[in-house]
Amino acid sequence: MASFGNAFSSSIGKKLIMGITGLFLISFLVVHCFINALIIVNDGGLTFNMGAHFMGTNWIIRAMEVVLFAGLLAHIVQGFRLVFQNRAARPERYAVNNGSANSKWYSRSMGLLGTLLLIFLIVHVSKFWVMSRFTGIPTVDANGNHDLFAVMVETFKDPLLVLLYVLAMVSLAYHLLHGFSSAFQTLGWNHKKYTPLIKGFGFWFSIIIPLLFALMPIVMYLGCIK
């Protein structure tokens, strides 16, 4: 890596890592959302469990899972480093700072939103991922697949957990509202022809994906999908 000089340790390089891992995590959201949306078939989870079985057994997916955790870890570690470095760049705070006059609150709160998402992820991974990979899912469905759907139904009987999931998706929406277009700016992709498209697509992506995710625990809690 020596030949790349300080490419990744410089301030621009650090942001490059945030941008690339951010876009990678965004691509993961699409896959995750699609698989989860299979519950909409409303067949007692048979289709969803098939999707979960595929995700759990396909070797390409399993390999990407490792990449995913690496990307996530890089995004989290680098994010915290940036927060602390940026705080240190202004040791004495302003008595009065009218930030809302020149920027959106969520663009100034990426560290906070990201931390909320991290807390959610710890709960989420320990509820579902640890069980499906390590401790094992207790029951199987009519097709003989592990019944992850039943675990979901059981989990989302708890209104507090449903609330946590919905609040986390609100955080995700705001995190993406800044992060999506910001990643392209960091990559140097700012152009009169493309930037309006990126911003427009990013806006709707940031609303629709978290909304779909948030709806899932809600409809299961209300018993619309069972």
Partner 1 sequence: MSTGNMNLTLKIWRQKNNKAKGGLVDYKISEVSPDMSFLEMFDVLNEDLVAKGEEPVVFDHDCREGICGACSMFIDGRPHGPKEGITTCQLHMRSFNDGDTIVVEPWRAKAFPVIKDLMVDRTAFDRIIASGGFISVNTGNAQDANNLPIPKVQADSAFEAAACIGCGACVATCKNASAMLFVSAKVSQLAQLPQGQPERYRRVQSMVAQMDAEGFGNCTNTGACEAECPKGISLENIARMNRDFYSAKFVSEESI
Q: Considering the complex, state which of residue 49 and residue 186 has its C-beta at the smaller distance from partner 1.
A: 186
Q: Considering the complex, state which of residue 5 and residue 223 has its C-beta at the smaller distance from partner 1.
A: 5
CB of 119 to partner 1, least distance (A): 21
CB of 174 to partner 1, least distance (A): 13
Q: Considering the complex, state which of residue 93 and residue 136 has its C-beta at the smaller distance from partner 1.
A: 93
Q: Considering the complex, state which of residue 68 and residue 112 has its C-beta at the smaller distance from partner 1.
A: 112
**Residues binding partner 1 (CB under 8 A):** 3-7, 10-16, 82, 85-86, 88-99, 101-104, 107-108, 110, 178, 181-182, 185-190
Q: Considering the complex, state which of residue 198 and residue 212 has its C-beta at the smaller distance from partner 1.
A: 198
Cβ 103 vs Cβ 114: under 8 Å: no
CB of 48 to partner 1, least distance (A): 37
Task: Please tell me the distance from the alpha carbon of residue 13 to that of residue 7, in angstroms, as a whole number.
Answer: 5
CB of 92 to partner 1, least distance (A): 5
CB of 72 to partner 1, least distance (A): 19
Residue 205: Cβ within 10 Å count: 18
DSSP string, 94-158: PSS--GGGTS-GGGS-HHHHHHHHHHHHHHHIIIIIHIIIII--S-B-TTSSB-HHHHHHHHTT-
CB of 83 to partner 1, least distance (A): 9
Cβ 134 vs Cβ 140: under 8 Å: no
Q: Considering the complex, state which of residue 58 and residue 86 has its C-beta at the smaller distance from partner 1.
A: 86
Task: Please tell me the distance from the alpha carbon of residue 71 to that of residue 13, in angstroms, as a whole number.
Answer: 15
Task: Please tell me the distance from the alpha carbon of residue 145 to that of residue 57, in angstroms, as a whole number.
Answer: 11
